[in-house]
Amino acid sequence: MNIKSAAFVKGVIGSNEILVNGKFQVAFLGRSNVGKSTLINSLTRKKNLAHSSLSPGKTIRMDFFLINDSFYFVDFPGYGYAKHSYQKREKLAKMILWYLMYSEIKNRLVILVIDVKVGLTPYDADMLKTFHEHHINYIIVANKMDNLRMGQKEKQIINLQQEYPNSEVIPYSSKQKYQGFELIRRISSYIS
């Protein structure tokens, strides 16, 4: 699959209606600042499609982008941002869980983005548990590979794969276009 077109469709705040129209949804989830929005821009080769920010936790919307006129990329607010108030964190958690458990969206893949140097945090582990409990397909993207030294790259991916043997872990870097084709190939294998 090639990504030929990508267009912003809708930003969803709180209880706005989300898009449920049968089209496949690829949801990008992960902690604040792991590079979710940049990843979407990198895969679509559009610099300013998804809003990437230097101040983490700014985005409180789910943004829907229509790809190739046939499926959606969904950019989520990042969780686990320490400077968020308790209320804001609760609101985000509710939004994400509601999306994940919302039974009407069946055709879906979650891309769980992590910072490869940090690995999976307890927040991410909670997410994995939810994916497993609700039979949600997911791929872990070990992002910002460019921050690892040459000798560490392979080792870190093998470690992650051994730690989470039931998960598919794909290395990536938006800075170096590392493994872009492989990630798109894996995403497209889920799209029905």
Ligand X SMILES: Nc1nc2c(ncn2[C@@H]2O[C@H](COP(=O)(O)OP(=O)(O)O)[C@@H](O)[C@H]2O)c(=O)[nH]1
Instruction: Confirm or reject binding of residue 174 to Mg ion (CB under 5 A).
Output: no
**74 in Cβ contact with 8 (< 8 Å):** no
DSSP state of 31: B
Choose the stretch contacting Mg ion; rule: CB under 5 A; options: 6-14, 55-63, 145-153, 176-184.
Answer: 55-63
- Check residue 171 for interaction with ligand X (CB under 6 A): no
Give the CB-nearest residue to Mg ion: 37
What 3-state class would DSSP assign to 114? strand
**For ligand X, which residue of 107, 147, 179, 188 counts as binding (CB under 6 A)?**
147
* Residue 89 found at the interface with ligand X (CB under 6 A): no
DSSP string, 51-95: ---SSTT---SEEEEEETTTEEEEEPPPB--TTS-HHHHHHHHHH
- The listed partner (ligand X, Mg ion, none) that binds 173, CB under 5 to 8 Å by sort, is ligand X
Q: By C-alpha distance, which of 112, 89, 124 is closest to 169?
A: 112
CA distance linking residue 167 with residue 65, whole number of Å: 26
The 31-60 contact track toward ligand X, x by CB under 6 A, reads -xxxxxxx-------------xxx-x----
β-strand partners of 110: 27, 138
65 backbone dihedrals φ, ψ, rounded to 5°: -120, 130
Question: In the range 110-139, which residues lie near ligand X by CB under 6 A?
Answer: none
Q: Does 107 bind ligand X (CB under 6 A)?
A: no
By CB under 6 A, is residue 146 in contact with ligand X? yes
Q: Is 156 in the site for ligand X (CB under 6 A)?
A: no
- Over the window 57 to 76, marking each residue x when it contacts Mg ion by CB under 5 A and - when it does not, the resulting string is --x-----------------
Residue 146 contacts which entry, ligand X, Mg ion, none (Cβ below 5-8 A, type-dependent): ligand X
Q: Hey, what are 177's tokens? A: 């276009």
Comparing every residue's Cβ against ligand X, the nearest one is: 35
Is the alpha carbon torsion for 175, 179, 185, 190 positive or negative?
negative
Find the helix or strand (DSSP H, E) in which 188 lies: helix 180-190
Contact residues: Mg ion, CB under 5 A = 36-37, 59
Contacting positions for ligand X (CB under 6 A)? 30, 32-38, 52-54, 56, 78, 143-144, 146-147, 173-175
